[in-house]
């Protein structure tokens, strides 16, 4: 069972939406021939690791309309929440499934496969198996908000670099897919999708956080400190001091966390 709470996903969603590259979404929707006034959905979108439907909300806000939204997640609670939020207005098909069982993923007929904040958790094996299953001549592939290993805090603290290095190592830990791609996700996907014949566009989608996102920043600081507390040789007193300093500046400082979006269109 994955452990992404509704509260955490809700907390990050506004920052994700602001960060998401809108141009790539537009190109993706245009490539699928979106109708302005759909009578009935005639395109299938499969969202992998959908959570509560963040991709649905982002894409509909940006003009996506005539889709059957096929949401896939291991966590039934998150899927129930997605249905509760959108089941009356949109045609949602929910699939509680483990993404690692790639052969059983409901990809049949997909016009576009999407994912948000997922592939940095995933492994090379998962990406390879998924790409092998997608109909690369017909299916658009779009993935947003994959962490790239960069984090800039302001004001700076002497332990920032050490903490970041440890955090990036921790990002490679197995999150249920085998060793995670972490910050290498976008480069790996780009290479593999290009080899599969796709035309690739990437765009940065950094979180630009300040005191306006204080709760998110505080959660991040707690999460980072917890992730690096063991296994990476950081002195516990120094880490406690870093965390205290960071929390003290959560309301007044800023933080930029790098992510990338990637769009793969079937080649000519
Ligand atoms: C970081 S969350 C992103 C959720 C959503 N896409 C969003 O942007 O809010 C990762 C999602 O992947 C799901 N997930 C993680 N591992 C999974 C697996 N092996 N099979 C299916 N879903 C998985 C989690 O339950 C969670 O909903």
CATH number reported for the structural domain that contains residue 53 in this entry:
3.40.50.150
Q: Flag whether 71 is in a domain.
A: yes
Confidence (pLDDT) at 37 = 54
49 ligand 1 Cβ < 6 A = yes
In a domain, 222, yes or no: no
Residue 139 has pLDDT above 60, yes or no: yes
pLDDT at 34 over 80: no
| Pocket of ligand 1 contains residue 183 by CB under 6 Å | no
Site of tokens 């576009």: 112
Task: Using alpha carbons, select from 113, 255, 244, 242 the residue that is nearest to residue 189.
Answer: 113
CA of 51 to the centre of ligand 1 (A): 5
Residue to probe by mutation, ligand 1, list 5, 12, 52, 73, most atoms within 8 Å of CB: 73
> How many structural domains comprise the chain?
1
**From the CB of 180, is ligand 1 less than 6 Å away?**
no
Q: How far apart are CA 177 and CA 122, in angstroms?
A: 5
Q: Which of 44, 137, 33 is nearest to 95 (CA)?
A: 44
Rounded to 5°, angle at Cα 19 from 81 and 147: 85
Q: Is residue 136 part of a domain?
A: yes
Tokens of 13: 């969603």
- If you search the block for the tokens 């949109």, which residue do you land on? 90
Mean pLDDT, the chain, rounded, equals 96
In this structure, is residue 166 part of a structural domain?
Answer: no
Which structural domain, as residue segments, surrounds residue 126?
6-149+174-206+256-266
Which residues on adjacent β-strands are paired with residue 142? Answer: 114, 263
Q: How far is residue 148's CA from residue 75's CA, in Å, rounded to a whole number?
A: 25
> Can you name the residues that pair with 260 across neighbouring β-strands?
146, 204
Decide: pTM greater than 0.85: yes
**Is residue 42, in this structure, part of any structural domain at all?**
yes
Q: For residue 78, give the ligand 1 atom closest to its CA.
A: 27
Under the banding of pLDDT at 50, 70 and 90, the label for residue 230 is: very high
Which residue of 1, 3, 4 sits with most ligand 1 atoms within 8 Å of its CB, as the best mutation to test the pocket?
4
What is the whole-number distance in angstroms between the Cα of residue 136 and the centre of ligand 1? 23
- Rounded to whole angstroms, the Cα distance separating 252 from 245 reads 12
Q: Is residue 244 part of a domain?
A: no
Q: What sign has the CA pseudo-torsion 187, 193, 195, 201?
A: negative
Ligand 1 neighbour 116 (Cβ under 6 A): yes
Q: Which atom of ligand 1 is nearest to the CA of 177?
A: 19
3-state secondary structure of 73: strand
Distances (CA, A) of 240 to 159, 224, 231, 247: 11, 12, 16, 11
By most ligand atoms within 8 Å of CB, the mutation choice from 7, 15, 49 for ligand 1 is 49
Mean pLDDT over 194-203 rounds to 97
Q: Is residue 21 part of a domain?
A: yes
Most distant pair of Cα atoms in the chain: their distance:
62
């Amino acid at each position: 069972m994955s452990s992404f709470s509704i509260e955490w996903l809700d907390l990050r969603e506004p920052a994700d939406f602001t960060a998401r590259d809108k141009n790539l979404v537009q190109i993706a929707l245009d490539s699928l021939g979106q109708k302005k006034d759909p009578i009935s959905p005639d395109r299938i979108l499969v969202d992998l690791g959908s959570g509560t439907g963040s991709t649905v909300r982002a894409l509909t806000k940006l003009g996506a309309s005539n889709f059957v939204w096929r949401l896939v997640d291991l966590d039934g609670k998150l899927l129930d929440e997605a249905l509760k939020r959108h089941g009356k207005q949109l045609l949602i098909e929910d699939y509680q499934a483990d993404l690692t069982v790639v052969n059983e993923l409901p990809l049949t007929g997909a016009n576009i496969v999407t994912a948000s904040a997922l592939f940095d958790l995933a492994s090379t094996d998962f990406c390879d198996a998924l790409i092998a299953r997608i109909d690369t001549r017909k299916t658009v592939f779009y993935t947003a908000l994959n962490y790239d290993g960069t984090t800039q805090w302001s004001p700076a603290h002497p332990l920032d670099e050490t903490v970041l290095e440890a955090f990036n190592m921790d990002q490679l830990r197995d999150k249920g897919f085998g060793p995670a791609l972490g910050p290498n996700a976008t480069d790996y996907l780009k290479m593999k999708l290009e080899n599969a014949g796709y035309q690739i566009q990437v765009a940065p989608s950094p979180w630009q956080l300040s005191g306006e996102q204080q709760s998110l920043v505080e959660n991040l600081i707690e999460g980072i400190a917890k992730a690096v507390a063991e296994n990476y040789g950081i002195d516990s007193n120094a880490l406690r001091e870093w965390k205290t300093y960071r929390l003290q500046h959560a309301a007044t400082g800023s933080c930029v966390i790098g992510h990338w979006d990637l769009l793969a269109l079937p080649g000519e």
